[in-house]
Structure 1
Amino acid sequence: MYYATPNSYNHLYRVYEGTYNQVSQAILEAIKGEAAAIDFYSRLVKEAPNARHKKDILHALEDEKVHLQQFIQLFTTLTGQQPTYQVVQTQYSSYKEGLERAYEDELEAYEDYRNAYLLTQNLAVRDVFFRAMTDEIEHAMRFGFLLSSLS
């Protein structure tokens, strides 16, 4: 027969509650990041110098839209609330600087999503972060290629 002491139960509850809060916060940060990326790439694509650049930026933009919807759905499912956030506009002064910023942002998002993926064993949460994580590294590779083609 197993007995749970009040202290062990409270400890397990605090661990779960702490993880839940971390995961919820990670999802909200992902929502903010995806919304900012959508705004950013919507502006950057208008400056693309050729069809190849436009195609790759649009590819990333469409993926970010999917990620945003998935993260919003996940947040709503986990918390029972709609997320509240403001879109922070990414600033850049030239197309090349925009590509550099996009490259760096994608690498940062990859790392953030990897860390969030490791926070939980919940497969639904992990699946959304895994999809976004793999897409972000692909976007970084595309932006790196576009940058190298400008030189």
Structure 2
Amino acid sequence: MYWNYYQGYGWYRTAFQPVWATSYNEALDLMRQSVQGEKSDELFYDQLIRLAPNKEQAGIIASIRDDERSHNKMFREMLLELTGQQIGPGNAEEMESKPINYAQGLRTALFGELSAVERYRKMWFGLPPGIYKDTVYGIILDELKHADKYNYLIGETEATR
């Protein structure tokens, strides 16, 4: 078995299809879904900012929210360039759930960031080498940074109990 690397759109596999394999079209579908996901995260974080116990913690969450806005814009721009289709910023009225309390909201946000890493990693495998793949990689690194920040906030919250 051998690998025939980049051929047209996405990676071309000859003898077997690895579990992590993602087609180019699947990557685009994940990117479309991510536009809504990033918007939903942004709205959730707005709620979490209101629950934060102090300005420092609210500022950390606000920086994460601002990154999510940037990711939403990047995904929309990549989709426009790759498909020629204009994608809106996502439905501002839809949010999966509101945080019950601050501590629970932090845990929900942490696992949301880790889930996004898995989704974006799958997307990354379906993109051809180049600027779009590099951009998704940068977004993955941001999501990991966000998870670290939420771990810090969870620790701070538990330390003050």
TM bucket (normalised to shorter chain) is 0.7 to 0.9
Q: Which amino acid aligns with 1:47?
A: L
Q: Which runs of 4+ in 1 moved over 4 A?
A: none
**Aligned letter for 2:145?**
E
1:50 Cα shift?
0.8
Could you tell me which of 43, 53, 56 is aligned with 1:52?
56
Residue 105 of structure 2 is matched in structure 1 by: 98
Q: Provide the C-alpha distance between the structure 2 equivalents of 1:106 and 1:145, rounded to a whole number of angstroms.
A: 14
Q: Is the 2:79–2:85 Cα contact (8 Å) retained in structure 1?
A: yes
Query: What letter corresponds to residue 39 of structure 2 in structure 1?
Result: A
Distance (Å, rounded) in 2 between the aligned partners of 1:62 and 1:69? 11
| Greater Cα offset, 75-84 or 38-47 | 75-84
- Report what 2:136 is aligned to: 129
Larger-Rg structure: 1
The answer to whether the Cα contact below 8 Å between 2:39 and 2:72 also exists between their aligned partners in 1 is: yes
**Does the 8 Å CA contact 1:39/1:89 hold for their aligned counterparts?**
yes
How much does 1:86 deviate? 3.5
Partner of 2:4: none
1:39-75, CA deviations, whole angstroms, 9 ceiling, x for partnerless residues? 1111211111012211110110111111111000001
Q: Cα deviations across residues 63-109 of structure 1 (Å, max 9, x unaligned)? A: 11111110000011111112255353132211111111000000000
Q: Distance in 2 between matches of 1:21 and 1:111?
A: 17
Q: Which is richer in helix?
A: 1
Q: Which runs of 5+ in 2 are unaligned?
A: 1-7, 13-21
Could you say what secondary structure the match of 2:126 adopts? coil
Alignment of 1:55-134 (within 5 A): 55-83=59-87, 85-86=90-91, 88-91=94-97, 92-134=99-141
Would you say the 8 A contact 2:76–2:87 is kept in 1?
Answer: yes
**1:31 & 1:126 partners in 2: Cα distance?**
16
Tell me, yes or no, if the aligned pair for 2:24 and 2:126 is still in contact at 8 Å. Answer: no
Structure 1 unmatched ranges of 5 or more: 1-11
How many percent identity over aligned positions? 28
Whole-Å separation in 2 of the counterparts to 1:21 and 1:86: 23
Query: In angstroms, what is the RMSD of aligned CA positions?
Result: 2.1
